[in-house]
């Protein structure tokens, strides 16, 4: 991966602007407008609001990629994954899930569905979103696009920290008590991205983490 300092001033400026666009989209998508600009602009459009907001997200992400250059998608996706990186991703995903359980115990977090014990309706859609859609979107934006933009002017270690902080804040103020755990997960996933150079490996780890957590929550609610 190209080291900082090998870019022209114009490329650095475009990278910085692209990073701002990616942070805007990341913060906007998961906060329903509480931290995002696009959702606030689309809020008065009624039923048209969500599709308009999503379309604007796509425009902003595309603009960011254009700023990074015609080959930016290759950099976002990274290189080919190696067998050892897949094994490390599995270990990292299981470790992140274990940290989630430990952190939840430490804070004595409440039952995820206390108002409706035994609720399992909609679990499949929840599981698909949590283990596939959510991780894919987050990794493409944070450890993919934002990673490539920030790497133009920062070292790998600083890029890991910046993407982890943005990833944490994008989860919104409602989850502020989970910030330490989310930040740690973001750092681990960033370390994995820097080590492997592959976005697919990071997605595997993130997806596995959420799959284990969702499976455990389903087991809890069906045990009532």
Q: Are 53 and 42 in contact (CB under 8 A)?
A: yes
- Residue range 60-89, pLDDT digits in tens: 899 999 999 988 999 999 987 788 999 999
State mean pLDDT over 4-12.
Answer: 81
Structure token digits, residue 153: 């002017």
Q: pTM here? A: 0.85
Question: What does the domain layout of the chain look like in residue ranges?
Answer: 9-221
State mean pLDDT over 21-39.
Answer: 67
Q: Are 153 and 3 in contact (CB under 8 A)?
A: no
């Amino acid at each position: 991966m190209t080291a900082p300092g090998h870019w022209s001033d114009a490329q650095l400026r475009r990278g910085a602007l692209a990073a701002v666009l990616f942070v805007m989209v990341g913060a906007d998508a998961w906060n329903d407008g509480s931290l995002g600009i696009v959702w606030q602009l689309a809020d008065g459009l009624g039923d048209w609001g969500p599709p308009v907001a999503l379309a604007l997200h796509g425009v902003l992400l595309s603009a960011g990629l254009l700023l990074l250059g015609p080959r930016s998608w290759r950099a976002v996706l990274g290189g080919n994954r190696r067998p050892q990186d897949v094994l490390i991703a599995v270990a990292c995903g299981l470790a992140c899930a274990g940290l989630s359980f430990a952190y939840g115990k430490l804070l004595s977090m409440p039952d995820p569905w206390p108002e409706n014990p035994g609720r399992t309706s909609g679990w499949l859609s929840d599981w698909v979103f949590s283990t596939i859609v959510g991780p894919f979107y987050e990794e493409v934006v944070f450890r993919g696009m934002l990673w490539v933009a920030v790497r133009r002017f920062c070292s790998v270690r600083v890029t890991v920290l910046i993407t982890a902080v943005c990833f944490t804040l994008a989860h919104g103020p409602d989850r502020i008590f989970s910030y330490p755990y989310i930040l740690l997960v973001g750092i681990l996933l960033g370390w994995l991205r820097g080590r492997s150079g592959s976005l697919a490996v990071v997605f595997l780890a993130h997806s596995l983490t959420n799959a284990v957590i969702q499976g455990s929550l389903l087991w809890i609610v069906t045990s009532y």
